[in-house]
Every structure is written in C-alpha cells, then in structure tokens.
Amino acid sequence: MTANDGQTPAFLPFTRPDLDEETIAGVVEILRSGWITTGPWNARFEQALSEFFGGRAVRAFNSGTVTMEIALRMLGVGPGDEVITTPLSWVATANVVLAVGARPVFVDIDPRTRNIDVTRVEAAITARTKVLLPVHLAGLPCDLDALYALAARQGLRVLEDAAQAIGSSWGGRRVGSFGDYASFSFHPNKNITSIEGGCLVLPADADPALAERYRLQGVRRFDIDGMDVDLVGGKANLTDVAARVGWGQLQRLQEFHARRQALAQAYFASFARLELGARGVQLPPRDAAGTNWHMFQVVLPPQLRRADVMQALRQRGIGSGVHYPPIHLFSLYRAMGFAPGAFPHAERVGAAILTLPLFPAMDDADVDRVARELSAVLRESGV
Ligand SMILES: *Cc1c(COP(=O)(O)O)cnc(C)c1O
C-alpha cells in the first residue's frame, strides 16, 4: 500500500481499522431493514463473543468505558471504596472509578512490561479496597496468576481492563475466558472494532439481567402487562449496525492477530539491524508471550523531546501516538492530591513512550520504513 515509485510514499497512520466489503454490505442491509438499533445482531454478536470466551456470559455495550463502569456498579463499588489500578492507562480506567463515587489508588508500573507492578499491589491494599483493576497495556497481559492469587488471599474482586487485549492469552488461556470480570473495547483503534462499543465478560456469580438493566434505564420489565424500573440505569446499548460491524470483525480476529504478530517480529528484526536498542531506545519485551500486539511502543532516550520526534516523523510521512500520559498528573487527579514523583516509573515511561504504526493492512516494507525513518530522526538528534 505504500509502494514507492519514486514519489513520496503515502502517509502511514499509527493505526487504521480494516473493514471488509461483506461487513459494509451487511451494514447497508441492516440500515434498509427497518430495525437499526439493538436487536438480532446484538444478540448474535453477544453469542459469538460468548463462544469466543469459552461459553462465559457476555453482554455488549456502546463503549468500553461504560462497560467498566457497569462492572463496578455490579460489584457494588461506591463512595468510601478504593480500587487499585495503574497510572499508565487511558484515563477511562480511573475515570470510571470516580464515576461510581469511589477512589482510585494507583500502583506504579513495572518499567519492563509497562503494566501495574503486581509485586507492589499488596502494599496498597487497605480495609477500603474492593477491587483490583489491572490493565493489559498494549495487549500484554499482566501476571494474572499472581493477581488472582492475591485477590483470593485478600478477598478482593478483579475487573480486568482488557480494552486492548482481545485475543491475548495468559498461560495458554485466552484473556477473558477465565477469571472474574473482564471488559473489552471495540473503539476503532482497538484490534477489532464495532465503530464504538465494548463487552463485559461476567463471572458465574453475576446476573446478566442486572448488566442489561444497568445498560438500559434499569428497566426490569417492559411488556403488555406493564413496565417496572428498579435501579438507575443508563443508556449504553449497542446498535445492530455497530454489532454487525463487530461480528464481522470478530470473524477476522485470527487473521488480524497473525498479521500483528508478524509485523511485531519485523519491527524487532529492523530495530536489531539498526541497533536502536543499543542507541538507547527501549523496545517492548520481545518475550511478550500471549500479547495480541495491540500496539508496538518504544520508550525514547531521555535526552529527546518526544514532541520533536513525533513532528519529525510526521514530516517523513509516519504517524505516531502517545499511549499514555500518566493519569495522576491530570488536573482532576492533582486536585485530589496526586502529585509528580508519586509513581516515577509511570512518569518516566509516560513522558517518553511512543506508539509506532501497527495495523493488519501494513506489510513488512512499511515496518522497515518506520524503523529507518525513526533511526534517521534519532541520528539527526545525535542518538
Ligand atoms: C480504549 C480503552 C478504554 C475505553 O474504551 P472506549 O471503548 O473508548 O470507551 C479503556 N481502557 C483502556 C486501557 C483503553 O485502551
């Protein structure tokens, strides 16, 4: 797609959804059908997701954010409760804790995996701790053996923010196919998309009907005999148009997964050839067993300004992204008492992490182009 015939190659974004013609035709069919919101395709998507997650109960929602918020409500998390999570995530992870009236308690990351440092979680547990909320950043699973052992020992529940981790596995088992609650996102940047959307995998002790009530106005019953509402639910149902897109994407997850694995290995090969590691660029763990390679992220050497590198890459036709600035340094969180210096690993990594292009429609030549341009940009800065 970026064949260079002597012209400037096409701009390479850091990600791009891959929607096939069959999916597009399926969407058109729904648009013409007379029923476009939640209906048979939502049910079919939920059924397919349930099969994907080993038969566990799954409900779909219109975002990965609301999916997590509803999981916290189902767990009874509210004012006075604490939820332990990582500061290096999309802000939604901590915002949902605030949304239910609880307090996020951050634990610094392990700079190698960039995930919450599981060995430090125990020290953050108090009498108010209700839930552990680990994030599988870039699709690399947290140490789920250690986390679930700790949760069992301490009597805590777990909500996995697996927004980025569809298709990832831990110990040979698919993330979401075991454990407690697991939340996924189908935002267009994720490995599969439903335009916007998300799904919640429920543990055996959770009532799927409760998830449905939180999803739609708390409606318990709405039929010819009348209607009843018994809790404050929201408006978080997935349209059939979105569900059709998500279902079509799920059929291609293995294909996407294989492409991402191959592209990540191509990055390691190109970076080794250009000796980027020796030049101070921190690569993701190469032994990242079980990752779905949602993102390929490097950490730049500290003497570089990330914004300058991104600007220079952009001029060379390469898109890049920042995932993420540490959550505890945003104004809202500083006002709650969080301050710089609290989580040094997350702050250092968050200040220098850079997401490079990685999506299934790329080929090895694209990867090599990114690696060579990044190398050239670093050379210009004396690295
Ligand atoms: C994308 C994402 C979310 C939120 O998902 P939306 O579908 O955008 O609401 C939450 N957590 C993480 C780690 C994410 O990457």
Summarised one tens digit per residue, pLDDT across range 214-223 is 999 999 988 8
Q: What is the pLDDT of residue 289?
A: 82
Question: Going by CA atoms, what residue is nearest to atom 5 of ligand 1?
Answer: 64
Model pTM? 0.97
Q: Please, what is the average pLDDT of the chain?
A: 96
Q: What is the pLDDT of residue 7?
A: 63
Query: pLDDT above 90 covers what percent of the chain?
Result: 95
Q: What is the pLDDT of residue 81?
A: 98
Q: What is the pLDDT of residue 1?
A: 46
Residues ≥6 apart with Cβ < 8 Å to 230: 213, 218, 220
Q: What is the pLDDT of residue 286?
A: 83
What average pLDDT does this structure show over 305-326? 98
Cβ(63) – ligand 1 distance below 6 Å: yes
Strand, helix or coil for residue 36 = coil
DSSP-derived secondary structure for 327-356: GGGSHHHHTTT--TTSSHHHHHHHHHEEEE
Q: What domains are there in the chain, each with its CATH number?
A: 21-251 (3.40.640.10), 253-380 (3.90.1150.10)
pLDDT above 60 (res 32): yes
Indicate which atom in ligand 1 lies nearest the CA of residue 65: 9
Indicate which atom in ligand 1 lies nearest the CA of residue 185: 7
- Encode pLDDT of 255-312 as tens digits: 999 999 999 999 999 999 999 999 999 999 987 789 999 999 999 999 999 999 999 9
Cβ(89) – ligand 1 distance below 6 Å: yes
- Encode pLDDT of 69-103 as tens digits: 999 999 999 999 999 999 999 999 999 999 999 99
Residues identified as active-site: 190
Cβ(324) – ligand 1 distance below 6 Å: no
- Whether the ω angle into residue 324 lies within 30 degrees of 0, i.e. cis, is yes
What average pLDDT does this structure show over 143-171? 98
Q: What is the dihedral of CA 257, 351, 92, 67, to 10 degrees?
A: 20
Which among 107, 171, 161 has a CA at the least distance from the CA of 138? 161
pLDDT above 60 (res 6): no
CA of 64 to the centre of ligand 1 (A): 5
Q: What is the pLDDT of residue 168?
A: 98
What average pLDDT does this structure show over 151-161? 98
Q: Which helix (H) or strand (E) covers residue 75, if one does?
A: none
Top-confidence residue, 125 or 224: 125
- Encode pLDDT of 182-193 as tens digits: 999 999 999 999
C-alpha–C-alpha distance, residues 49 and 44, integer Å: 9
CA of 258 to the centre of ligand 1 (A): 23
Mean pLDDT lowest among 60-74, 131-145, 275-289 = 275-289
